[in-house]
Amino acid sequence: MQSKNKDFVFSIALTVFGIYVLYEGFGIYQYAANPPFNIKIFVISPAFLPIILGTILILLSVLMFFESLRGEGNSLKKQRKDFAEWIKTIPGNPDIRKMTIGSAFMGIYVFFMMANLPFWIATLIFLFCMFIFLRVGKVWKIALIDLGTVGAIVLLFQVIFQTSLP
């Protein structure tokens, strides 16, 4: 995706996010204005800064939106077409596929494996799977690096620094 096209997509996403911040901000203002807080003056309300920030975010995003349409051949229609074409190329792009699968592995490690397994077992499995997925060498070499790394981490943090690991 071209830089201008990325700016186009991000400016829309950030504008939507800015509107959401404003919506939440006014919710906070109403919450603070009611008992027991009774903070009815807007500028001293806890909603003041979020609302100001939401407004600035929308303004800056709108500026970026118009910036992305500036220049020859950067019309609204072309940006939409470019984005649609980029979406179609995602499944066939090996880099995006590797980054997505790698991130998914890391997500599984953080959200599921560490919640259900002792740290050293979860890390042994995670590192082994990652090294195999990234094809960093032969299986024996991977196993050696894996064991060495987990051993060093446990030694450094649990034995020397006496901290408890997740």
Binding site for other proteins (CB under 8 A): 3, 6-7, 9-10, 14, 21, 24, 28, 31-32, 37, 39, 41, 43-44, 46-50, 53-54, 56-57, 60-61, 63-64, 67, 94-95, 98-99, 102-103, 106-107, 109-111, 114-115, 123, 126-127, 130-131, 134-136, 145, 149, 153, 157, 161-166
Judged on CB neighbours under 10 Å (0-12, 13-18, 19+), 30 is exposed
Check whether the bond before 94 is cis (ω within 30° of 0): no
78 vs 157 by CB, closer to other proteins: 157
75 vs 93 by CB, closer to other proteins: 93
CB of 25 to other proteins, least distance (A): 9
Which position has the token pair 């700016």?
7
Task: State how far Cα 72 lies from the chain centre.
Answer: 32
Hey, what are 68's tokens? Answer: 């992305």
